[in-house]
Amino acid sequence: MSAGKVTVTQLKQMKEAGEKITAVAVFDYGFGKLADMAGVDVALVGDSLGMTFRGEENTLTVTVDEMAYHTKAVRRGVSRALLVGDMPFLSCHLGVEETLKNAGKLVAAGAEAVKVEGGGKMIAVVEALVSAGIPVMGHLGLTPQSIHQLGGYKIQGRGKEKALRMMEEAQALAAAGVFSLVLECVPAQLAEEITRAIPAPTIGIGAGPACDGQILVAYDLLGMPSKVTPKFVKKYADLAGVASHAMGEYIAETKHGVFPGEEHSYTTQPRHLKAI
């Protein structure tokens, strides 16, 4: 794939060519810039910011206006990657007009597409958004906005009936026009079958290696502080350790008068101070 701007059309072409798609969830300018510089294909401003960025127990308290705020910040750091904004809890459940209004806020903030969790009644929501010209990323499996209904953070799609239902919902979402589909905490075998069955690229998170792409939260893969680290997370760095050590050095140097040194200080002519 070219080094130019990533589009929804290119993601479909990547699936057809067998090229894996990379996606990262980011919440601010700095991490958005780093992800874009690294060459990630999709930057998702996820409502997971409620947990990783704010330390909440779940994603349910995140609002549309907060998502728009973070989307604006990430937009300033991202130029190449496709920027997707998460539709937060209840933002798609109050009718088509309200859904389009909420999605419009994310688009106005810089999102080039939105992500909608769930199947079932959300199929009509996806159709309405796509008809309005807003690209939609679907999301099945463990959908954090339904955490209370699901009974916790559990693997989804195990068992014949549940697997069949997820396959049907995936096909329905594809027919409704999603340009990609996130599969979260889904058995690898089921994710592979869904990936084969639909034309839209699948983006896995805890869904095995056969998906068309993968997504992780930047904070998780970089080893930032976290209350919980799911099994599907691979830490590629220990930024928590690096940052903690650096702050410790700063504290020690400040207390011992080492910092700031001359190289970090400004000066003036002594004669200018004589009148003081």
Domains within the chain, CATH numbers bracketed: 8-238 (3.20.20.60), 243-273 (no CATH)
Please give the pLDDT value at position 149.
Answer: 64
Please give the pLDDT value at position 52.
Answer: 86
Q: Which of 184, 192, 249, 262 is catalytic?
A: 184
Distance between CA atoms of 229 and 3, rounded to whole angstroms?
A: 32
Burial 188-222 (b: 16+ CB within 10 A, else e): eebbbbbbeebebbbbbbbbbebbbbbbbbbbbbb
DSSP 80: S
Residues of the chain with pLDDT under 70: 1-2, 144-153
Please give the torsion angle defined by the CA atoms of residues 179, 81, 75 and 216, in that order, rounded to the nearest 10 degrees.
Answer: 80
Q: Is 214 helix (H, G, I), strand (E, B) or coil?
A: strand
137: β partners: 115, 180
Q: Is the Cα torsion angle 14, 23, 78, 242 positive or negative in sign?
A: negative
Please give the pLDDT value at position 152.
Answer: 59
Distance between CA atoms of 6 and 19, rounded to whole angstroms?
A: 13
Please give the pLDDT value at position 146.
Answer: 62
Please give the pLDDT value at position 202.
Answer: 99
Asked if 66 is an active-site residue, the reply is: no
Distance between CA atoms of 171 and 12, rounded to whole angstroms?
A: 16
**Each residue of 93-147: pLDDT tens digit?**
888 999 999 999 999 999 999 999 999 989 999 999 999 999 999 999 987 666 6
